[in-house]
Structure 1
Amino acid sequence: MEITLDKHSANQATIKINLKESDYQPKVDAKLKDYAKKANIKGFRPGKAPLGMVKNLYGTSVLVEEINTILGESLNNYLKEQTFKILGDPLPVESNEENIDWKKQKDFEFDYKIGFVENIDLPLDAKIKATNYSIKVDDKLVNETIENLKSQYGNSTNPEISEAGDNLYGDLANADSTWSKTLTFPIDKLTKKLGAKFIGVSKDAVIEFPAKDVKKAQWEEAFGLTEEELAHVDGELNFTVKNINRTEIAEMNQEFFDKIFGPDQVKSEEEFIAKVQETLQVNYNKEAALFTEEELKKSLVEKANLELPEAFLKEWLLKANQGKVSAEDVENEYPAYARQLTWSLISNHLATANDIKAEHEDVIEKTKQMVREQFAASGLGSQMEDSMDMFVDNYLKGEEGQNYMNMLTSVQNDKVLAMVKEKLKLKDKEISIDEFKELLEK
């Protein structure tokens, strides 16, 4: 057997495997003899059929099976010896296999395309610039949040006459009544000029207005219309009011406090304000930490400057997901896949270089934290603690064990990023929520 490697670019190559008869025939002969001992062929007692007949019946299939086994083992062992990192799986060059004459050929040649990256060089030095962001929860943000909560948790009423801030429920129709839709919309989502037509109206009122008075974005934002439905909204329209919905601003009392944080968690307006600020700070600390890590990943990816075998990976993704994705799907999703793959390579490199390992205990603890956060969001956190081990076990066994592997990767990433932060000594920067939103939009 002869295996050769032909690197025809910085990250793609062809592996050629040449097999001679002596490489496979002893195993084929042994398998056929074993078949002959067990074969049940009409006209012969079990195990007594002539070897020549067994070869005629099973020879080709046994030959193909044994050669494929030899190829798989040889290719895997060869790739393990290489210093570069293989990406995806080797792709057989199909034209070679199509021309094989399994009955007459003695020597065989097989070609495989591979994609790879060479050794990653990523020193963690001062050249990598990164920032540790924190978000300041100021009085303005706290007050806005409280006002939103008061609106959200206020009592709902159905007044006789509409006012600004109300939601109207009814039927929207075109002038000739060939199309209509029952919907609810907030008056404040319309322009001031158009919104005025819907203020001071009562149930059963019919408001007429031209479609051109509604901005294009408002058809979706206010009325919730789809692109298909937009084809019907042209010329004169009318809206028949069926009901008026109003949410009164909630009062700052114990009932309101209990709705937000649970019974007797806070007992005064001062405690409520402090609790809102604390909750906002915890949530924004998480968002800032995630943003910091994503920006740090971008810096590391840029510094590593890995060149991926794009053509190979696209071909591999298409074949590996045969029937599930199209070439167009691969083309559209490739940038996101490439970013994730690049980070995965960097994370693995840094973990190996710094002896970082994701332990089973780490996986269990991270999964527990995830479960706690999920149940806390539903208000059931404390009630589920006694059943925590069961929830964790069921989750980690899910998706045929893939959940466990995903969590293992997540733990490694956490440890790698913590190590990088410590070595690079990130520059601290406190920003407002508005500044944070601007960063997210970039």
Structure 2
Amino acid sequence: MNITKKEIDSLNAVLTVEIKKEDYQDKVASVLNNYRKNANIPGFRKGHVPLGMVKKQYGKAVLVEEVNKLLQDNLHKFLTEEKLDVLGNPLPKNDTDINWDADDFSFEFDLGLSPQFDVDVKKKAVTHYKIVADDKMLDNQVKTIRKQYGKLIAKKQVEKGDEITGTFTSEEKDIDKSTTITTEDIKGKKQLSALMGAKVGDVISLKTKGLFNDDHDNQKFLGVEHDDAHGLDIEVSFKIEEINTREMAELNQELFDKLFGEGVVTSEKELKEKIKEDAEKQFEQQSDQKLLNDVVESLIENTKFELPKEFLERWIAVSGEKELTEAEAKAEYERSEKGLRYQLIEGKLRSENNLQVSFDELKAYSKEMIKGQMAQFGQTNPSEEELDTIAARILSNQEEVKRINEQLLTNKMLQFFKENAKLKTKEVTYDKFIKEAYE
């Protein structure tokens, strides 16, 4: 057997695999002899069927199967030994022209080669948001806590700041939703005016256009689907079943202990510091995700290289469960091109900077994850033996291993970007972050 590679250009090559009769004849003969021993053909005892008859009936199929096995095994071996960095899989070039009645065969395969390129993570600065909890947010959080732990007092009619429990109905949109709203949820002045002074048992007609502070509240309070929630403009009936106001809880030691445990927080100042600390930890996760997304987009945009587009479109057309038309394959390539580019960029960064995950790291991460889950159920001090046993069970599940591995790889890439990319830190409030980052 002989395999040769001919480069068409820097991104495309053709492999030619020459298979001679001596490469496959012993294996084909062995398989046919086994067929002969086990064949059940009327008129012949088992194991005494003439070899010529077996060859006539099964010879071509066995030949094709064994040559293809030989072909695939040696293709894989060649690509590995030659360290060829290919995209997709080799595509047969002349499979319809093979004469299976011949003794020797020549197969050709198109290869798509991975491009050569450099990655510069410092080429363009990316904003790294530091989200802070401002005084307004802290005051609102304290107010929310005081309301949440406050005393509920029943009322006879609606006033500003009250909670109203009732049922929204509409035949037009098949709405029948029991819910609790506050007057602060209402945006529309006319709708708010209609509710003011209303009593238990009253049925109020309300226009949904501009009713709530956000159209997504139509899902929450009216129970409509997401697509209906945006721009909903109908009339609904709201039957008032209960009116309450909340007497806000006092900021005292009893409340602080209820929130954080005995003696952890002892004053309003410490309460706000604790809220600020917890909030900014959560904000960091959002900031990190935004940073990761932005660095990825920047690398895709600023790392220039060509791809074997025609080869990849052909490969996409035949690699799925269902073969795609040329137009479908082109469309799928357009959708997946950015993802493929980043796979190549990420692969290069991982290889050059040793950003891989070891089994010990997988195990350690699993144990920390287990400890966190056990702590939620009051088991704060599990033994190493317990952790090892549960971790072993988790790591025997390939899907779990894949999920944890991907999470650790993402964490490593994020840390690498934080330490090596060109970043400009910008301190913002949460509201400003949402506005700048997503609007």
TM-score norm. by structure 2 comes to: 0.78
SS in 2 for 1:292: helix
Distance 1:123 1:328 in 2: 35
Q: Which residue of 2 aligns with 1:342?
A: 341
Q: What CA deviation, in whole Å up to 9, does each residue of 1:307-333 have, x standing for no partner? A: 445665566567555269999999998
Distance 2:374 2:275 in 1: 20
> Are 1:201 and 2:191 an aligned pair?
no
SS in 2 for 1:184: strand
Q: Which residue of 1 aligns with 2:292?
A: 293
> Are 1:273 and 2:281 an aligned pair?
no
SS in 2 for 1:127: coil
Q: Which residue of 2 aligns with 1:436?
A: 433
Contact 1:351 1:412 in 2 (8 A): no
Distance 1:330 1:421 in 2: 37
Question: Which one-letter code corresponds to 2:47 in the other structure?
Answer: G
Candidates 125, 149, 159, aligned match of 1:163: 159
Question: Which one-letter code corresponds to 2:203 in the other structure?
Answer: V
Contact 1:37 1:46 in 2 (8 A): yes
Contact 2:157 2:199 in 1 (8 A): yes
Distance apart, 1:421 and its partner CA? 4.3
Q: Tell me which moved more, 279-288 or 312-321.
A: 312-321
Q: Which runs of 5+ in 2 are unaligned?
A: none
Distance 1:99 1:356 in 2: 45
> Are 1:134 and 2:133 an aligned pair?
no
Q: Which residue of 1 aligns with 2:176?
A: 181
Q: Which residue of 2 aligns with 1:63?
A: 63
Distance 2:331 2:260 in 1: 44
Question: Which one-letter code corresponds to 1:65 in the other structure?
Answer: E
Distance 2:147 2:334 in 1: 42
Distance 1:329 1:167 in 2: 54
Q: Which residue of 2 aligns with 1:253?
A: 252
In 2 relative to 1, CA 2–432 (structure 1 residues): closer, same or farther, beyond 3 Å? Answer: same
Q: Which residue of 1 aligns with 2:24?
A: 24
Q: Which residue of 2 aligns with 1:305?
A: 304
Distance apart, 1:306 and its partner CA? 4.1
Distance 1:152 1:114 in 2: 64
Distance 1:132 1:293 in 2: 9
Question: Which one-letter code corresponds to 2:179 in the other structure?
Answer: T
In 2 relative to 1, CA 113–426 (structure 1 residues): closer, same or farther, beyond 3 Å? Answer: same
* Aligned-residue CA RMSD (Å): 4.3
Q: Which residue of 1 aligns with 2:361?
A: 362
Q: What CA deviation, in whole Å up to 9, does each residue of 1:185-223 have, x standing for no partner? A: 524234122122123222221213456675893644642
Q: What CA deviation, in whole Å up to 9, does each residue of 1:249-295 have, x standing for no partner? A: 34323453344334554344333222212212322233333433333
Match runs of 1:48-197 below 5 Å: 48-81=48-81, 85-92=85-92, 97=95, 102=100, 104=101, 106=103, 108=105, 110=107, 112-123=109-120, 126-156=122-152, 159-165=155-161, 166-174=163-171, 180-184=175-179, 186=181, 187=183, 188-197=185-194
**Percent identity, aligned pairs only?**
29
Distance apart, 1:55 and its partner CA? 1.4
Distance 2:325 2:259 in 1: 47
SS in 2 for 1:238: strand
Contact 1:189 1:222 in 2 (8 A): no
Question: Which one-letter code corresponds to 1:172 in the other structure?
Answer: T
Q: Which residue of 1 aligns with 2:387?
A: 388
Name the count of aligned residue pairs: 432
In 2 relative to 1, CA 99–339 (structure 1 residues): closer, same or farther, beyond 3 Å? Answer: same
In 2 relative to 1, CA 101–355 (structure 1 residues): closer, same or farther, beyond 3 Å? Answer: same
